[in-house]
Each structure stands twice: as structure tokens, then as C-alpha cells.
Amino acid sequence: MKNVAIFASGNGSNYEKIMEHIQAGQLTNINVVGLYTDKREAYAIERAKRFGTPVHLFELSQFEHKTAYEQAILAQLKKDAVEWIILAGYMKLVGPTLLDVYEGRMLNIHPSLLPSFPGKDAVGQALRYGVRVTGATVHYVDSGMDTGTIIDQMSCPILEDDTQASLQLRVQNLEYELYPRVIKKIIQ
């Protein structure tokens, strides 16, 4: 069993789904030792409290620069003996301080079929562009914006009457299935 940290900046629904898979005995290869967040108001914190997961808050504004910020995170990761990092709605580019240590052991999920529509508002980008299919991608994290090696993807159609909210919900449901499946397969 590998110690993992989950990084989240917002709602934390992917964190919650991972924890539900652990509780149901469907993910037995990981031990979530902490939720790491950069937002004091992140709802992921409330979800972590319900699961009894320790929360570590690191706000970039409290540090002189990004390197110092990531050094503080790295110190806590080492203290927690973290072997893998799972990004679940963490809205910052990971810098070299963390990448140098966790390269090849850091996963991210993104709400599009990468390499299409990287970055923020991927669902909105897909709707505005007019594609007929979108989905979710799990990839290794590298120094770029959603440019790491793709591990797995799931797709869904974009319907004529889709709104951003309706499509976002369908893509999230793909994420909830895809991410635990990839975590089970990749983290050994």
C-alpha cells in the first residue's frame, strides 16, 4: 500500500469519490495520508473532515515566492512519507521543486480529451469550439499545462441541447469512474 497525498483547490468531489472507493474496498493499494490545499475556502476541506483526512493548507500569498511555497509543501510531504501525489482539481501549475522529487509519481485528471482544451474551463472551451465529443483524461504531471503523458481517457457525446452545467456533470461522472480505475492500475 502506497502513501498518497491528494491536492485540491476547490470542491473536492474527486477526492470524495476516491475516498468512497477506498471505503468500499475497491481501492486497496493506496493510503490517503493528507489533503493538501491552497485555498482556505475550498469545500474539499469539509469533505476531508468527514473522512478524517488530515488537511494541510498552503497559501501561496503566505510565502515569499513559489519555490518557498513548494519547499514547505515538500517538507510536509516528506513528513507524511508520501510516495504519490494525486491532483484532483488543484488549480496551480506544479513547479520544479515538487516535480523533481515526484516525477512519474504525480497524476492529474482533466475534463477534456487531451491534448484538446487544456487549462481552465475545458468544458466551456469544448462547447464554444463546437466539438461533438469530449471527456476526461488522466495523465502524468509535467512542467506544462496538461501536457504530461496520457494514461487513459473516457469520452462522452456533446448533445445539441447541452449547457455548460449539463455537460460538466456528465464529464464529472466520467472522472469519478476513470480516476479510481487508473489509480488502482498505476499505483503499485
Active-site hit among 21, 56, 110, 139: 110
Residue 114 three-state SS: coil
CA-to-CA dists, residue 8 to 13, 16, 41, 74, 86, angstroms:
9, 11, 11, 16, 9
In the chain, which ranges are E strands?
A: 2-8, 30-37, 55-57, 84-87, 106-110, 133-140, 150-157
CA–CA separation, 16 vs 108, rounded Å?
15
CA atoms within 13 A on the CB side of 2: 18
Annotation says 110 is catalytic: yes
* Residue numbers annotated as active site: 110
